Homo-oligomer: A and B are copies of this chain.
C-alpha cells in the first residue's frame, strides 16, 4: 500500500508551476493604465455617489468568496469586483460633499508618492536601512515647521526634531510615554509603572487622550478633564487649581495636553497660559493640533499658536487638511532624547556603525512600531506639487466657504449657530428638539447628497459641517445648505401635520 503524506492536501488543487514574477513590467504598465482609468472615472462619478455608504452590515463580506482563489485571476475581474462589491460599500471621503468628522484629504501628488513608496518598498526603521527615508522625512518636517513658523526648538538642527507617525493618537501616546518615563526617571520602563501620576487635558480633548492613558497604564481616572469656558477652551485657573489639589493629595502631576482645535468645535486652548503653568510646575506639555495645525501655513491664523514654544511636544495631521492621504501625522519634540530614552531598545541584530555613532536618527526609536515605510515622499510630492502658496489658497478658500455657510445659518431664523464659526467648522442646529436634529441628520445622510456628523455641546445634539475635503467648492457648500434647509422644512412640516 502506498503511504499517504498527511502533510499534503488530500484533494489535488490546480497549481502554478512557474515561479511568479512579483514585478512584471508589461503587466504592471497595463494594469496601472487600467487602474488610472478606473481612478479617473471614480473621481468623475464621485460628486454623484451617495456620500454615506448605503449597504447593510455583512453585505460586502457576503459578496466576497469564502476562500482565496487557487489560481491567479485577471486584473479585469478584480476591477469589476471593485465596482460591484467595494464601491457601494464605501463612504466617499473624497466626495466634495463630505462634510462629516474632519476631512481626510487625498490628492494627485500624494497618490503618486504612495505608489512610489510602495514600489521602492524600503523599510526605514534604521537610518542605515535607507538613509533617504530618514533624511527626507527630517527635512520635510523642518520644511513644515519653517513654513508654519513653529518654534525653532522643534527643528532638527537643535535638540528637537520631527517625525511622521500614523496618527495623532500614536503621537499623543508617544508623548505620554516619554513624559511618564521622565517623571519616573526611567523606572516605568525598567521595573514597571506603579501608579501615582496624574495627567490633565480639557473636557473637550480628543478620545485618543483617554486611550493613551489606558495604554500607558496611567488609567483614565488619572486623566483629569479640566473644565472649559464658553468658547470650549480650557480654563487655565482651573488647571492650576486641579494640579494643586493633586499635589496636596500626594499625587504627581506630570503631563498636560492642550488642544488647538478640538474635535467637537475646533476650540483652542490658551497655549501661553497653559504653557506657563506647565513650566512653573515642571509638567510635560503636549499640544494636539491634529486638525487645526495646517492653518498655521497662513500668517493671519498664527495667533492661536502663540506660546507653542513652551510645549515639549506637538502634533498635527497633514492627512486631514493638507492634501496628503492618510497616514501622515507630524510629531515634533523639543528634546528628542526624552523621546528616544523612552522608546529605544537595541538588540544585536539591529546594531550598526551609523547608529552607534549617534550621528543619525533611527526613527524606530521615535515611535511604537519597529518598521516604517517611506511616507515622507508624500509630503515632498505635495509640497512641491502645490507649493506653499497653492496650499494657502486652498485653505483660505475653505475658511471662506465655512464662514459663508455660517452666515447663512445665522441669517435663518429656523437655525442657530451653536458656536461662532471656528476655522472651517460650523457647529449648528435647527431650533428644535435634539430628536428633531437627530432625525434631520439621519435623513440627510440617508438621502446621500451630503454627509455631516454631530457632537454634543452644552448637552445638546449639534450638527457639524466641516469644509475641508480637497474638491469642496462653493457650489457644494451652497447645495449642502439648500438641502439641509429644505429637508428641515419638510420634516418640520410633516411633524406639524
Contacts and interface: CB of A to CB of B under 8 A. Distances in A.
Query: Which of A28, A108, A194, A216 has most chain B Cβ within 10 Å?
Result: A108
Contact of A371 (B32, B107, B327): B327
Contact of A299 (B9, B72, B122, B397): B9
Interface stretch (A132-140, A228-236, A273-281): A132-140
A104 B77 contact: no
Interface in A27-66: 27-29, 31-33, 35-36, 38-40, 42-44, 52-53, 55, 57-61, 64, 66
Interface in A182-232: 187-195, 197, 206-208, 210-211, 214-222
A8 B101 CA distance: 30
Given A345-B207, A360-B57, A36 B28 contact: yes
A264 interface: yes
Contact of A72 (B7, B70, B386): B386
Interface in A55-93: 55, 57-61, 64, 66-73, 75, 77-78, 82, 85-93
B300 A16 contact: no
A101 to B, nearest CB: 7
A372 to B, nearest CB: 8
Nearest to A192: B219
Nearest to A354: B57
B118 A106 contact: yes
Contacts of A189: 214, 219-220
Interface string A422-437: 0000000000000000
25 contacts: A5-B300, A13-B389, A16-B393, A19-B393, A20-B394, A22-B105, A23-B43, A28-B36, A32-B115, A38-B116, A52-B128, A67-B146, A69-B384, A70-B387, A78-B380, A85-B132, A85-B136, A93-B130, A192-B197, A193-B217, A211-B343, A214-B345, A263-B347, A326-B372, A349-B455
